[in-house]
Amino acid sequence: MTIRSKHSNVLNYFIHDRRDLSPAYVRGCEKFLKSINKQRAKKNSRLQLLKSLDEAASSKRQAPSATKKTQS
């Protein structure tokens, strides 16, 4: 059974057997899914870098506060 698929829609990729889909459609879907994975990996690496920079900045010693406590 051959499934007709629009190349801008990945639903058939998930709900039908790949043998029933055209090879060009399957390649296009796999290419699209890999690009999403690469974007997510890039975003995660940026977030980890920002987190490590933030942790490094917060671990530095802070100068003592110049305000004095007043007793009532």
pLDDT tens per residue across span 42-56: 888 988 888 888 887
SS3 36: helix
pTM of the model: 0.60
Instruction: Examine residue 62 and state whether it is found in any structural domain, yes or no.
Output: no
Instruction: Examine residue 22 and state whether it is found in any structural domain, yes or no.
Output: yes
Maximum CA extent, the chain = 86
pLDDT beneath 50, residues of the chain = none
Instruction: Examine residue 38 and state whether it is found in any structural domain, yes or no.
Output: yes
Tally the domains of the chain.
Answer: 1
Structural domain containing residue 16: 11-51
Instruction: Examine residue 28 and state whether it is found in any structural domain, yes or no.
Output: yes
Instruction: Examine residue 59 and state whether it is found in any structural domain, yes or no.
Output: no
